[in-house]
Amino acid sequence: MLSEMERSEIERTLSQYPTRQAACIDAMQIVQRHRGWVSDESLRDLCELLGMRADELEAVATFYNLIFRRPVGRHVILVCNSVTCWMLGADALRDRVATAANLRVGETGADGRFTVLPIVCLGACDHAPALMVDGDLHRDVEPAHVEEILRGYQ
């Protein structure tokens, strides 16, 4: 069940869109901001609120790669794997991030601190390789600086 706070935020957002369905990404982001991810139950509640079918909303949720459909750590590390980042060392950066976080890409650590995920592009091709932690973009990242970056996210 959506909390009163979630429902209230979503209702305020609806006025910015021509239809309730058009607000679906914002609505899922609101739920995710409060809960850390969007569960099946939350998705069903959003369908009811937005007047959408479950398969419609699920299609949006699974297409948009910043909606997490399973639990993630307190801090989500997105490692860019675009062609530009790859050419400038994204593989070494990804491996260093995984080692520093003590987990494999796609996993969440046992302590729940980090989840490491690949992302198609962070839009920082002019400063590759790049990674993002909790919405903070880190550009021109040298693998040797990964531990220093991650120390900032307790």
Strand partners, 133: 77, 136
Indicate the pLDDT class of residue 104, thresholds 50, 70 and 90: very high
pTM of the model: 0.86
Q: Give per-residue pLDDT as tens, 107-135.
A: 999 999 999 999 999 999 999 999 999 99
What pLDDT was estimated at residue 60?
96
Q: Structural domain boundaries of the chain?
A: 4-63, 75-151
Please tell me the distance from the alpha carbon of residue 45 to that of residue 41, in angstroms, as a whole number: 6
Hey, how many other C-beta atoms are within 10 angstroms of the C-beta on 82? Answer: 20
Q: Give per-residue pLDDT as tens, 39-85.
A: 999 999 999 999 999 999 999 999 988 999 999 999 999 999 999 99
Please tell me the distance from the alpha carbon of residue 43 to that of residue 35, in angstroms, as a whole number: 12
What pLDDT was estimated at residue 154?
84
| Token representation of residue 111 | 């302590």
**Which contiguous run of DSSP H or E holds residue 110?**
none
Average pLDDT, whole number, for the chain? 95
75-151 in CATH: which number?
A: 3.40.30.10
Strand partners, 95: none
Q: Which residues contact 14 (CB under 8 A, 6 or more apart)?
A: 20, 23
Domain 4-63 -> CATH class: mainly alpha
**Residue 85: how many CA atoms within 13 Å on its side-chain side?**
28
Query: In the chain, pLDDT over 90 holds for what percent of residues?
Result: 98
